[in-house]
Amino acid sequence: MKFIFGIHNHQPLGNFGWVFESAYERAYKPFLETLEEYPNMKVAVHYSGPLLEWIADNRPEHIDLLKSLVRKGQVEIIVAGFYEPVLASIPEEDRVEQINLLKDFARKLGYEAKGLWLTERVWEPELVKTLRKAGIEYVVVDDYHFMSAGLPKESLYWPYYTEDGGETVVVFPIDERLRYLIPFRPVEKTIDYLHSLDDGDESKVAVFHDDGEKFGVWPGTYEWVHEKGWLREFFDRISSDERIEVLLYSEYLGQFRPRGLVYLPIASYFEMSEWSLPAEQARLFVEFVNLLKAEGIFDRYRVFVRGGIWKNFFFKYPEGNYTHKRMLMVSKLVRDNPEARRFLLKAQCNDAYWHGVFGGIYLPHLRRVVWENIIRANSYVSTGTFVRDIDFDGHEEVFIEGENFYYSFKPGLGGSLVELSSKERAVNYADVLARRYEHYHSTGSAVPEEEGDGVESIHELSGEVPEEIRKEVAYDSVRRVLLQDRFLKPETTLDGFRLNRYKPLADFAGKPYWYSLDGNELRLWRNEGDFSVVKVFRPHEKGFTVDYTVSGRGTFAVELNVAVHSVMETQGELEGSRVEVNDRYAVGRFSIELDRKARMWKFPVKTLSKSESGWDFIQQGVSYTFLFPLDGELKFRLSFKER
C-alpha cells in the first residue's frame, strides 16, 4: 500500500512571539529532529511564510536541517500563499504573487515546488487557472471534496485530474480517517488501517496531510507524541513495514498517472461545513448529523450531507466582511505599487477572517495586524472622500480620508462610525467584535469519531461553559461601533444596558439615518415620533468632533465602542466631561471629551468563544456611553482625540 505523509505548519501573522517559540519547541523542532533519525521515512512539508520568517530570524539551524533533509530526499516542500491566505478569497493577481513568494523561499531551501497545500482546503473550481499560472501541478484537498461531488469513499485512494477552462491540475484526496487516527490513536491502528486497504493494486495510495501542531501543540499531544514515543514508533514501524511504501507526492506522480477526471464543487473539510453555517443552522446541522449517527446510517448517506462554505463567514461576521472588502478595495488601489503590496499581501493572512475550533476572528491581536497592514498599504495612495457600498451589504458607506485618519460611516446602521483608522499608528479604533451566540454555546460539534486509546483530538473535546462566565454572557442586537444613539428609560441600569436586558424608549442604533455631505463635513439625522437626532461630523488632524442636536425625553445615550484590548476595564459609572485611556499594547492613548459634564457608563465588551485551549472570554473592546437627562432639546459637542 502506498502511503503519503504530510504536515502543514503555520502560525498567523501577528501571533505572540511566545506562541511561535512554544510551538517550535513542542512541535516543529522535535518533529524534524526525529525525522532525521529515520532515513527511510519521507514527509511532504508545508511551512507558512510568517512561520518561516520567524524561524529564519530566531532558529536558523532549523532552516539548515530542512535543507539537509531536502538534499537527502526525505522532505518535499509544498507551498501555498506566502502569508497563508484563503486563495479563493483574494484576487487572482494576488494569488499568483503569494504563491510565487513561497516558491522563491522553497528555492532557497533547494527545492523547486510544484505542489500546493490549499489553505483550509477551501476549493473553488476557478483556482485551477490560477494554480497553472503559478506553475503548480498538484494540490492537496480532502476526500470530503470528492464525496461532495458524489464519489464513493472506496474510489478515493488515487489522485485525479480536475479541469477548468481547458487547464488541469492533479488533486490528491486526504483520507479523513487517517486525520483522526494520526497521532491521536496508537500506531497499531494506523498500520492495521493501511493494511486493510491493500488489495494488490500498486497505484492505490492513502494520504495523510494535516496540521503539524497536532504533533506537540494540541492539548495532551506533546506528552503522547514525544515523551511517550508515539512519533518514533510511528516513523520506525511505517518506514520498515514491508506492506507499506512511504513516498512523496512527486514520486507517486513519477510512477503513476491520475485515475481520471473529476469536478470538485466549492468545498472545504467536513468540520468547516459546520462552522461556516449561521449559528442556529449550525446547531441544526449538528443535530441532524448526530441523528444520522444514532440511526447508524451516517456513513451510508454521508456524501449527501453538506453544510456551509467558507465564504459564509463574511455573512456570519459582518465585521470580518467589512475588513475583507476594505482589503480588496486597497488591493485594487495598490496594484502597481510594489512597496504597498507587501503590506497588502500580509493583510490577506486568513486566520482573522473566520472562526472554527481556533480563536480566529475572536482574537483581537490577529485582527489588529490585518488592519495595520490594510492601513499601511492604503497610505501609499489617495482615496479621497466618496460614497459607495464598500462591503456589499446593500447599504452605502460614506468614506472620508482626512489628514491622518480614514473615517467610514454607515448611515444605514444608526449613522455610526464603523472605521476610524489612524494612518500614524496604523490602528482601527473601531475594530470591536459584537457579542454573538455561537452554536457550541449550547451544543457540541458534529465530527467523525475514532474510538480507542490515545489522546483526544481538539475536535472531540467538550465541556460546559463555566458558571462564572455564563452569568456574564450577553448577545448584542447590533454591531459594536462608534456613535450609536439611544433614548433610554430613566430607570435603565448599567447592568441592564451592558447585558442587553433593557427596552429603550426609542432605539436609533442600527436604524437608517438620512445624510448629506459637504466636503468632509457629514450631517446625519433621524426622526421617530417625538424623538430626533441630528449629528454633524467634522474630521480634524487628531480625530473628530460631532455636534449633536437632540429632541425627546428620558435619557439620551451616545455610545462609542473602542478597540481597547490591553487595558482590562471593569464596568462602572463616572461623571465628568472627559475620559482618557492609554491602551499601551493596542490602539495607544486617546481621549473622548464633551463640552459639558455628563454621566458615563463604561464596561468591557467580552465575547464567549471556544479554542483548542477551552473556553475563551475575550475583551473585544470597551463601551463608553455618555448619558444626558432629556426633556425637550439638547445640544452638545463630542470630540475624539488621539494623544
3-state secondary structure of 105: helix
In angstroms, how far apart are the furthest CA atoms of the chain? 88
Q: Where do we find the cell 441532524?
A: 288
Cβ atoms within 10 Å, residue 509: 22
Burial of 242 (0-12, 13-18, 19+ CB in 10 A): exposed
Query: How far is Cα 9 from Cα 240, in angstroms, rounded to an integer?
Result: 26
Residue 378: name the closest of 349, 409, 413, 402 by CA.
402
Pair 190, 182: CB distance under 8 Å: yes
Query: How far is Cα 49 from Cα 63, in angstroms, rounded to an integer?
Result: 13
* Strand duo 614-642 + 588-611: pairing: antiparallel
Following DSSP, what letter does each residue of 128-175 receive, concatenated?
HHHHHHTT--EEEEEHHHHHHTT--GGG-SS-EEEEETTEEEEEEEE-
Query: How far is Cα 580 from Cα 524, in angstroms, rounded to an integer?
Result: 26
Q: Per DSSP, what are the bridge partners of residue 522?
A: 517, 537
* Strand duo 405-410 + 205-211: pairing: unpaired
Pair 94, 344: CB distance under 8 Å: yes
3-state secondary structure of 260: coil
Q: Specify the DSSP element, H or E, that contains 199.
A: none
Burial of 209 (0-12, 13-18, 19+ CB in 10 A): buried
∠ CA 125-140-335 to the nearest 5 degrees? 55
Query: How far is Cα 6 from Cα 284, in angstroms, rounded to an integer?
Result: 34
Active-site annotation holder among 211, 236, 393, 612: 211
Query: DSSP label at 267?
Result: B
Grid cell of 266 as nine digits: 466549492
Pair 553, 488: CB distance under 8 Å: no
Helix H, strand E, coil C: the string for 75-86 is: EEECECCCCCCC
Sorted by sequence, the CB contacts under 8 Å of residue 307 that are 6+ apart come out as 273, 274, 276, 277, 281, 282, 285
Q: Per DSSP, what are the bridge partners of residue 610?
A: 615
Grid cell of 500 as nine digits: 442587553
Grid cell of 467 as nine digits: 458558571
Q: Where do we find the cell 425627546?
A: 552
Query: DSSP label at 123?
Result: B
Cβ atoms within 10 Å, residue 523: 16
Pair 610, 460: CB distance under 8 Å: no
∠ CA 49-146-243 to the nearest 5 degrees? 85
Active-site annotation holder among 120, 245, 450, 485: 120
Q: How far apart are the first and last CA of the chain?
A: 66
Residue 375: name the closest of 404, 411, 332 by CA.
404
211 counts as catalytic: yes
* Burial state string for 401-426 with b = 16 or more CB within 10 A and e = fewer than 16: bbebbbbbbbbbbbbbbbbbbbbebb
Residues marked active site are found at 120, 211
